[in-house]
Structure 1
Amino acid sequence: MKDKYDLIIVGSGVLGTFHAYHALLKGMSVAILEKNSKPEGATVRNFGQVVPSGMDRKWQDFGKESLKIYKDIQSQFDISIRQNGTVYLASNEEEMQLIEELHEINISNDYESTVLTKEQCLAKYAGLRADYCTGGLFFPQEVTVEPSKMIHKLHQYMTQNLGLDLFMNTTVVHTEDKFSEVIAATSLGKEFTASKMIICNGSDFKILYPEIYNNSDLIVSKLQMLQTKPQNNYKLDGSILTGLTIRRYESFEECKSYQSIKAKEDPGSFEKKYGVHILFKQATDGSVILGDSHEYASAKDVDSLGFDLNMDIDNFMIEEAKKIIDLPTYEIQSRWFGMYSQCKTKDIFEHTVDENIHIITGIGGKGMTGSAGFAKHTIDKIFNT
């Protein structure tokens, strides 16, 4: 433990970790303080799909930078990155129109994508149903990660190679900005000092600054996901996103036909009520992760989302998934939910407390894809480099 750090990060999830990463690359001394024995939030409770293709133009730039960062680290140290691409599968002519329009936008944005015919999709993705697929849009540069492994491997790389000091089971209960330094006091009576501090964990933010938290425009989304048993002698490459995803993701909102197509949707449908869109990703053990759904509450009312799993949502997602891909088995070995916070009015929550304590959270579903690139931009801004 050093007497004083250049930067303290509160929260060891992907957003906080990549802020630490970029500060370390600039030669700074950095400590991450994490209240749990390991990250437990959205960083490990997600699909592990890194998909800049689904983001609006601003965040797609951050996502493209993230891809470079992930691949650079993977070339030095295995953090579970696999460059196996992303495909959006259209189920009808409307969705096909949207992916063709997005492809044209990608050309102008210099982001590689390829329109696939129905026959090409059926040949590329085993078990894909001919009565579902109309065509697809493929992004070859995009990657998948194993979320249960990636953050731990990244921490290992950073502590061994970049000099990160990582303190787990370290709960920050009070912070103070003395202008010449900031202090993070822990529940065990230890004090960590630094030049600057960034709080990247929503629950720590809630504890440390409850008034700011309760008056923020943060909302929390609860997502349900499932994992099949390993699929024998079956391979499904990359991230598989489908028609409901095309109708949901921000990037498609830039398409000229988007608003007219959305206007035709049934606002009372089950998928609308629970924000369902169907995703597939095969894990390294051969199992397939599928989902997901979205239920929302304001940050101060997060308990209203409950801690149970809505089996109607799970059953709906399984039945919809069966209409898309014939997997060898749809026997489920695990079910879970994740929660992430996002802003109603902004794309991320940023708040400066005094001069040297910064709250950066509420990245929403963009965390795995956008954090690496966004954090680089933020560290440059905070340290004026």
Structure 2
Amino acid sequence: MADIDYDLVVVGGGVLGTFHAYHAMKKGLKVALLEKDSMPKSATVRNFGQVVPSGMNTKWQEYGRKSLKIYKKIHAKFNITVRQEGSIYLASNEEEVQLIEELREINRINEYTSILFTKAECLSRYPGLNENYVKAGLFFPEEITVEPRTMIGRIHKYLQKKGLSIFYQSKVIECYALGNEVTTQLANGRMLLSSKVIICNGSDFKTLYPQLFATSDLEISKLQMMQTKPQENYKIPGSVLTGLSIRRYEAFAECPSYLKIKSKELLESPEKKWGVHILFKQAMDGSVILGDSHEYADAENIDDLGFDLNMEIDNLMIKKAKEIFELPTYEINQRWFGMYSQCKNSDIFERTIDRNIHIVTGIGGKGMTGSAGFAKHNINQIFNI
């Protein structure tokens, strides 16, 4: 027997799917959220937990700024691990100083608060920062961090209290349209009927519509990260992004000097080879998460990325991190990798099948920051609100 009807079934309980469910509920719709595992286990929980609209281009910064408001609004009612301690980009040379000065001007025009810190101010605010590394910093006080391994579970609990139906360990094997309804078939034999389905499948391209994804421009990025043991009597406030981030993040591509500065970079460096840029974020237990790296494969060749950690990459990241911060300990407690999907030629992958089945994936590294704001826009589009 088919289950009761829903206005919307969302396939995928990660951050992108969850916020589609959230905004649909806010519009008064009856929503079911399906997650194939006991809890989300992919990119949503395998990241730094940095919500940094400052790193995005103008279009996605707007979504990210809306996301900040949404995170803070939910946290005011239900603890989802939000900490507002700001984000800083640390410039290590005069070229990077020029880029952060240009980004400050862009954000002034966009009316997004940023503060230029002197070298002395950076050293005062961030203990252990190497004075030979930092030249200046650009600080964004409105930005937040969350604990990625627990945040999404807490949002789910909050939404369940608001009436969201969540089905865990519910792998979807088929969606098909019947007139104005969509049948969602689960591997356990259950069926759900809904007016619409939104599929936010992350990097799972082998189950639903595999041929569509195999011929798309989607690619997978594999990122290595690690976490130190807790740092006793030591605190790094907020998110710390460094010179390599300045040279990589898309926000800086809008700076007038960006292309000229990028053209001078050595293409054969280990940092280029592995897509390394160094980030620091202290978790609530006092440990420091650092990374990360980027290896790529087309969606149909995801298995080529393997399931091992490349210790050459980890050792490079630790070496670069030690050049920036002198932490009380660099003893590593955990190492892992995450995988996210992104498009080569667009900012997100969207396809509509049979009018009422909508695929939304390939958000790339923008997921934690951009999903909440983008999902609001997308729900309005899909339901013509």
TM-score where L is the length of structure 1:
0.99
- Residue identity in the other structure for 2:354: D
1:149 deviates by 0.6
Equivalent residue runs for 1:193-342 within 5 Å: 193-342=193-342
In the alignment, which residue of structure 2 is the partner of 1:354? 354
> SS of 1:266's equivalent?
coil
Secondary structure of the residue aligned to 1:233 is: coil
Within-5 A mapping of 1:163-202: 163-202=163-202
Superposed displacement of residue 203, structure 1: 4.7
Tell me, what secondary structure is at the counterpart of 1:384?
Answer: coil
SS of residue paired to 1:227: strand
Q: Aligned residues, how many?
A: 384
Q: How high is the sequence identity, in percent, across the aligned residues?
A: 64
For 2:116, the equivalent position in structure 1 comes to: 115
Query: Would the aligned equivalents of 1:172 and 1:204 in 2 still touch at CA under 8 Å?
Result: no
Aligned amino acid, residue 317 of structure 2: M
Q: Deviations over 1:28-55 (max 9, x none)?
A: 1100111111101000000000000000
1-side partners of 2:181 and 2:174: how far apart? 14
Give the deviation of 1:121 after TM superposition: 0.2
Q: 1:158 to 1:2 in 2, by over 3 A?
A: farther
Query: Which residue in 1 is equivalent to 2:365?
Result: 365
C-alpha displacement at 1:206, in angstroms? 3.3
Partner of 1:72: 73
Q: Tell me, what secondary structure is at the counterpart of 1:326?
A: coil
Contact 1:229 1:333 in 2 (8 A): yes
Aligned mates of 1:310, 1:205 — CA distance in 2 = 24
- 1: CA distance, partners of 2:381 / 2:174: 25
1:140-171: CA deviations, max 9, x gaps? 000000000100000000001x2100000111
Partners of 1:269 and 1:205 in 2: how far apart?
32
SS of 1:351's equivalent in the other structure is strand
Q: Which residue of 1 aligns with 2:6?
A: 5
**Would the aligned equivalents of 1:129 and 1:325 in 2 still touch at CA under 8 Å?**
yes
**Alpha-carbon contact 1:10-1:204 (below 8 Å) kept:** no
C-alpha distance in structure 2 between counterparts of 1:204 and 1:309, whole Å: 20
Q: 1:203, 1:59 → 2: CA distance?
A: 21
Q: CA deviation at 1:202?
A: 3.4
- Indicate if the aligned counterparts of 1:179 and 1:356 stay in contact, CA closer than 8 A: no
Q: Which runs of 5 or more structure 2 residues have no equivalent in the other structure?
A: none
Cα distance in structure 1, aligned partners of 2:310 and 2:338: 13
Letter of the 2:228 partner, please give it.
Answer: T
Tell me if structure 1 keeps the 8 A contact 2:205–2:299.
no
Moved over 3 A (4+): 202-206
- What residue in structure 1 maps to residue 15 of structure 2? 14
Gaps of 5+ in 1: none
SS at structure 2 position matched to 1:202? coil
What is the distance in 2 between the residues matched to 1:254 and 1:175?
Answer: 40
Contact in 1 for aligned 2:126/2:236 (Cα 8 Å): yes
